[in-house]
Amino acid sequence: MFIDARNLPENKIIMTDVCIIGAGAAGITLALEFIDQPFQVCLIESGGLQFDKKTQSLSEGENIGVPYWPLDESRLRYFGGSTNHWGGWCWPLDEIDFETRDWVTHSGWPFRKSHIESFYERARIICKLGPFDYDVENWESEKVPRLGLILDRVITKIIQIRPISFGQMYRDNIARAKNISVYLHANVLEIETNDAAKNVIRLRIACLEGKKFWVDAKVFILATGGIENARLLLLSRKVQTAGLGNQNDLVGRFFMEHPHLFSGIFMPSDPNFPTELYTGFGKVNDTIFLGALTLSEDTQRRESLTNFSATLGRSDQYPDWFQSLRILRREISQGELPDDFLRHLKNVITEIDQVWLTAHKRLLQGEWYPLKYYYIYNRTEQVPNPDSRVTLSSQRDSLGQNRVRLDWRLSKFDKSSIRRASEIIGIELGRAGLGRLKISLDEDDTSWPPSLTGGGHHMGTTRMHIDPKKGVVNENCQVHGISNLFVAGSSVFPTSGHANPTLTIVALTLRLADHIKAIMT
Amino acid sequence: MITSGQVNRRDFLSTLLGTSVLLILQPFRTVARMGSSDCPETIAEQLSNFFIHKQSAEMIGREYVTLRPNESARTLLNELIRSFELHRFSMSGRIDTKELRNFLAIKQRQDFELSRIVNIKGWILSETEARLCALAALI
């Protein structure tokens, strides 16, 4: 059932068993799992069923660190959350991502990958993906082969791509569920606890139009995304003045993204070499997929590097004389002379040897401009960094709440690791005789190229650790010290790997859902 | 066309195309002309003429020489003659172009296998191809 919270009576107290805050990938997955369970569920969503500018403005905030997307553009605030603009890229984290690695500070999850394999299998059904299989041998074909590298220092992995809006896909399932009530246009202002801050008692909620109400539940699950989860805990400071769960000053710290950037170009020795696996979107049994070059776990260990992936983007480069020749030919064939006729003529005449060579090659060997090369685009792991963080800004939103301030920070190691990984790829491409790679990252590890951006992957701000001094939530995603408050989503990731986070978000959420079901039944 | 001290992408690509493809095709004619009496200077000139875009090769070569100032033209030439086993080809009196093509490709791959790699302005190159460029720059 969907309820417009703006129509509720003022100061109404809604009594329920489980309250989920946020209807994005995590919140909707929880709701789906709770359908027909023997307990009542309340799902609170800030927005409505469609995008609304005023609601979206609640996500505005300050960026004071590495240049980043405006905060109201890198996430969405209506039913379905950020899956409403999600690209649908899915792949799991690697085994090594869960390990404690002495070269990656603050690394290590409370469990191994094998622990969540079964949840990944369930997650792929929710994400409408093909089989849980990311090994290239099961996706490549004779026409679309992987790059034939000699050693396994660099390997190809598969990304499955299925952009779905969880809001649209699962709206009807949730609407039909008898035990689930979705409250739209409902903005949680504060999570209120008892005096000892051991239990959450209720949520204080408001609509943009001013209506206020409360939700009283046995269990609360925060699922508002990697930035908003931290913000809401920091805003809930009536009892714990530093913010809820923030007794060890960890809430909002360790913000991680996947640095996305162009790191160089690859020029194949054979211009006709098939690179479609890495540049196009293949399709097998309705599953769209793309290949990416990654470092093997062994290479990461041996070289002490972070996890890394690279896809290729094709580009064709035409020299000036070629462009000029084309313009001259086109204009003259229409009986006209182009603007800058003399410049174009000069371009052709001064490079007449190239014109001749190209024509010669074209006639005799069938080769033709442009030179074929590929941009290397990276999506990489960021080392957890306590100084990379989300805090509260002094600016206020239209509900009077402190806006968020993001200070995304990257380390020298983050950059040097990408550069070394690129170098390894260049060496392996050369070793296999496949071509040459140019790394465009400079040697100054304190600066980043203008192409640097994030993927809208907000992670780490309520990180998971069994030790309350090292993590905000425990291995069950329960906020340390608060018995009935849980966190879902990528904010609990202790490390990020290089893989897009949604599949892991859903897998971890399914694991949490099982835990909650066990508690409630 | 190189117009400044920078190695631009197109020139670099052209040169690499020259080293990795045309370099392998051009030498057959070049080496075929070499007799056992060829003096090293002639070989040097011929080696440096592998490139279809010699100016670009020279630019890469100058970067290489900056990285490794101890390698003179003579050192480079000797090293290239040794590594290409040019004497073997010229002494035999019979040039097997296919063999030479394969041989040069193997040399480049061996460089990568044995970490004989140079990074010139970000390009990860085999030492052999970079030395050829350096030779072009020095003679």
B33 touches chain A (CB under 8 A): no
pLDDT in tens, A227-246: 999 999 999 999 999 999 99
| A371 to B119: CB separation less than 8 angstroms, yes or no | no
Query: Which whole number is the average pLDDT over A494-501?
Result: 98
Question: Does the structure show a pLDDT above 50 at A86?
Answer: yes
| A438 to B1: CB separation less than 8 angstroms, yes or no | no
B51 touches chain A (CB under 8 A): no
- What pLDDT, on the 0 to 100 scale, is given for residue A497? 98
- Token pair, residue A225, equals 């995304």
Element (DSSP H or E) covering residue B120: strand B117-120
pLDDT in tens, A412-458: 999 999 999 999 999 999 999 898 999 999 999 999 998 899 999 99
B117 touches chain A (CB under 8 A): yes
B20 touches chain A (CB under 8 A): yes
| B123 to A438: CB separation less than 8 angstroms, yes or no | yes
* Nearest-CA distance B113 → chain A (Å): 6
- What pLDDT, on the 0 to 100 scale, is given for residue B5? 37
pLDDT in tens, B92-132: 544 455 565 666 677 888 899 999 999 998 999 999 888 88
| B108 to A430: CB separation less than 8 angstroms, yes or no | yes
**pLDDT bucket at A405, cuts 50 / 70 / 90:** very high
| B1 to A351: CB separation less than 8 angstroms, yes or no | yes
All residues of chain A having their beta carbon less than 8 Å from the beta carbon of residue B20 are 269, 435-436
All residues of chain A having their beta carbon less than 8 Å from the beta carbon of residue B17 are 267, 371
pLDDT in tens, A92-117: 999 999 999 999 999 999 999 999 99
- What pLDDT, on the 0 to 100 scale, is given for residue A331? 84
B23 in Cβ contact with B129 (< 8 Å) = yes
| B20 to A423: CB separation less than 8 angstroms, yes or no | no
CA trace torsion A202, A207, A211, A212 (10° rounding): 10
Element (DSSP H or E) covering residue A507: helix A502-520
Query: Across chain A, what does the average pLDDT equal?
Result: 93
Query: What 8-state DSSP symbol labels residue B21?
Result: I
Strand, coil or helix: A168: helix
All residues of chain A having their beta carbon less than 8 Å from the beta carbon of residue B124 are 423, 426-427, 430, 436-439
Closest-approach residue (CA) in chain A for B122: A439
Q: How big is chain B, counted in residues?
A: 139
The backbone torsions φ and ψ at residue A330, rounded to the nearest 5 degrees and listed phi first, read -65, -50
| A267 to B16: CB separation less than 8 angstroms, yes or no | yes
- For B26-120, where are the alpha helices, taking DSSP H only? 27-33, 40-48, 54-67, 73-84, 86-92, 97-113
| A430 to B1: CB separation less than 8 angstroms, yes or no | no
B108 touches chain A (CB under 8 A): yes
* Nearest-CA distance B19 → chain A (Å): 10
For a pLDDT cut of 70, what percent of chain A falls above it?
A: 97
pLDDT in tens, A357-389: 777 666 665 555 556 788 999 999 999 999 999
Q: How many CB pairs under 8 A join A and B?
A: 62
Residue ranges for chain B with pLDDT beneath 50: 1-7, 18, 20-38, 93-95
| A435 to B20: CB separation less than 8 angstroms, yes or no | yes
- What pLDDT, on the 0 to 100 scale, is given for residue A329? 85
Rounded to 10°, the helix B127-138/B54-67 angle is: 100
Question: Does the structure show a pLDDT above 90 at A151?
Answer: no
Residue A48 or residue A375, greater confidence: A48
Give the Å distances, CA to CA, from A407 to A66, A106, A227, A390, A397. Answer: 7, 19, 11, 6, 19
| B13 to A317: CB separation less than 8 angstroms, yes or no | yes
Distance CA(A288)–CA(B116), nearest Å, equals 40
| B125 to A436: CB separation less than 8 angstroms, yes or no | yes
| A373 to B13: CB separation less than 8 angstroms, yes or no | yes
| A430 to B124: CB separation less than 8 angstroms, yes or no | yes
Query: Which whole number is the average pLDDT over A73-93?
Result: 96
pLDDT-wise least confident of A30-44, A122-136, A281-295, B102-116: B102-116
- What pLDDT, on the 0 to 100 scale, is given for residue A323? 78
Write the CB contacts of A457 (distance below 8 Å, at least 6 apart in sequence).
A226, A256, A257, A258, A490, A496, A500, A501
* Nearest-CA distance B122 → chain A (Å): 5
Nearest to A269 among B12, B21, B52 (CB): B21
Give the mutation candidate from A431, A439, A440, A442 for the B interface (greatest B CB count, under 10 A): A431
Query: What 8-state DSSP symbol labels residue A464?
Result: B
pLDDT-wise least confident of A64-73, A94-103, A285-294: A285-294
- What pLDDT, on the 0 to 100 scale, is given for residue B94? 47
Q: Where are the domains of chain B?
A: 9-138
Nearest to A430 among B1, B9, B112 (CB): B112
The backbone torsions φ and ψ at residue A184, rounded to the nearest 5 degrees and listed phi first, read -95, 160
